[in-house]
């Protein structure tokens, strides 16, 4: 699946256009996945698996965008070690 088009777009305050598009697409795919699971009655149906894998790709792309924006150290700075 080609997600290159999601990296394009102008920046908006706080978030890039591509991030906003990606978030919207993830929300839509999540809704579609829930509806499809309810329709098929199984997580093992091939159409459910395919849609779930598509959603996974979008989530990974979103995570990659956020890792580029934040240094690795700051990602875990809020976690306090016991």
Query: For 44-59, what is each residue's pLDDT tens digit?
Result: 999 999 999 999 999 9
Q: Chain-wide mean pLDDT for the chain? A: 79
The full set of domain ranges for the chain reads 17-69
Higher pLDDT, 15 or 51: 51
* This prediction's pTM: 0.65
Contact of 52 with 30, CB cutoff 8 Å: no
43 vs 47: CA distance, rounded Å: 9
User: Which pLDDT band holds residue 29 (cuts at 50, 70, 90)?
Assistant: very high
Token pair of 32 as six digits: 């579609």
- Residues in Cβ contact with 18 at an 8 Å cutoff, skipping those fewer than 6 apart: 6, 7, 8, 9, 65
64 vs 18: CA distance, rounded Å: 12
């Amino acid at each position: 699946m080609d997600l290159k088009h999601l990296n394009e777009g102008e920046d908006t305050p706080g978030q890039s256009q591509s991030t906003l598009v990606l978030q919207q697409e993830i929300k839509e795919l999540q809704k579609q996945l829930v509806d499809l699971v309810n329709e098929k009655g199984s997580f093992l149906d091939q159409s459910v698996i395919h849609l779930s894998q598509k959603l996974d790709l979008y989530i990974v792309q979103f995570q990659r965008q956020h890792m580029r924006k934040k240094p690795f150290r700051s990602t875990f700075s809020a976690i306090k070690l016991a």
